[in-house]
Amino acid sequence: MRPIAQATLDRLAELFAQDVTSAAAARAVGISKSTATAYRTRLGFPPAPPRSAANRSTLTLEQKWRTYTRAAEGGHLEWTGRHRADTGVMVMTHHGREYTARRVAFLVRTGREPEGTVTAECDHLGCVAPACVEDEPGRTRARGQLAAVLGLATPLTECGRGHATANHRRYDRDGHPYCGACRALTDARKAAA
Ligand SMILES: [Zn+2]
Ligand SMILES: [Zn+2]
């Protein structure tokens, strides 16, 4: 266990006596959570009681999500919430669970969980407007319609490697068709190289 100053130890004991969580006590005195937890046990304090329902956000998932959005021109919405440090994905937490901003946007519009990745199909960078997001099937449908309008839709029932068009046809944002199964293979090969 990391040695800490007597004053810090006294302060910790005070906080634990008030049922403050180890994480909050650690923040208050500037030590790591694991160190605070170790001292909690050594000082003989039981784990902090779970946060009461009254301490949880009273906002619904959608209401909390809205507090992290900012209206942009043209009906688009920008995200003012958190980004995952490693991937930059826009995220939020509600009642202890993490959600991506676009998953919630999709839920808000459709009332159901998305299938596959949710993307914004508009040109507004970082948009999270419910009207602008699509899941995998919705995106394929919308882009397929664009491809048809542009005369880019393919009449083939399978790709050169034999993947069925009905299951694997996907489209770029500009409506150009490609085989999703073949692209997944190429991506996997690139990742392995
Ligand atoms: Zn948008
Ligand atoms: Zn293919």
Of 134, 157, 177, the residue that ends a domain is: 134
- pLDDT band, very low/low/confident/very high, at 52 (cuts 50, 70, 90): low
CB neighbour list of residue 81: distance below 8 Å, 6 or more residues apart: 68, 90, 91, 92, 101
CB atoms within 10 A of CB 133: 27
- 61 pLDDT above the threshold of 70: yes
- 30 and 75: one domain? no
Whether the per-residue pLDDT at 188 is higher than 80: the answer is: yes
Residue 71 CA to ligand 1 centre (angstroms): 10
- Answer yes or no: do 121 and 78 share one domain: yes
Sorting pLDDT into bands at 50, 70 and 90, what band is 51? low
- 153 and 187 share a domain? yes
Does residue 115 lie within any of the structural domains? yes
Taken as a whole, the chain contains a residue count of 193
The closest ligand to the CA of 163 turns out to be: 2
Instruction: Tell me how far the alpha carbon of residue 138 lies from the centroid of ligand 2, in angstroms.
Output: 20
What pLDDT score does 55 carry? 67
**Ligand with an atom nearest the CA of residue 131:** 1
CB of 178 closer than 8 Å to CB of 170: yes
Domain that holds residue 106: 57-134
Residues 37, 71, single domain; the answer is: no
133 CA distance to ligand 2 middle (Å): 26
Give the per-residue pLDDT at 4: 86
In a domain, 179, yes or no: yes
Which residues have C-beta within 8 Å of that of residue 86, sequence separation ≥ 6?
A: none
Residue 107 and residue 69 in one domain: yes
Domain-located, residue 1: no
Is pLDDT at 181 greater than 90 in this prediction? yes
The verdict on residue 39 lying in a domain is: yes
Residues 109 and 143 in one domain: no
Structural domain count, the chain: 3
Same domain, 144 and 168: yes
Question: What is the whole-number distance in angstroms between the Cα of residue 187 and the centre of ligand 2?
Answer: 13
Give residue 132's pLDDT.
97
The closest ligand to the CA of 73 turns out to be 1
| 4 contact partners, CB below 8 Å, separation of at least 6 | 12, 29, 31, 35, 39
Average pLDDT over residues 154-181: 93
29: confidence class by pLDDT, cuts 50, 70, 90: confident
Q: Are 72 and 78 spatial neighbours (Cβ–Cβ below 8 Å)?
A: yes
One domain, residues 127 and 150: no
What integer best gives the mean pLDDT of the chain?
91
pLDDT digits (tens, 9 = 90+) for 104-142: 999 999 999 999 999 999 999 999 999 999 999 999 999
Cα separation, 140 vs 137, whole angstroms: 5
> What is the maximal distance between C-alpha atoms in the chain?
77
**Nearest by Cα to 121 from 174, 73, 71:** 174
- Rounded to 5°, the CA angle 139-87-189 comes to 70
CA of 129 to the centre of ligand 1 (A): 5
pTM (2 decimals)?
0.67
Using the 3D structure, point to which of 85, 101, 134 is the last residue of a domain.
134
Q: Which residues contact 38 (CB under 8 A, 6 or more apart)?
A: 1, 2
Residue 17 lies in a domain: yes
Q: How far apart are CA 105 and CA 173, in angstroms?
A: 20
Residues 90 and 130 in one domain: yes
Task: Find the ligand nearest to 180 CA.
Answer: 2
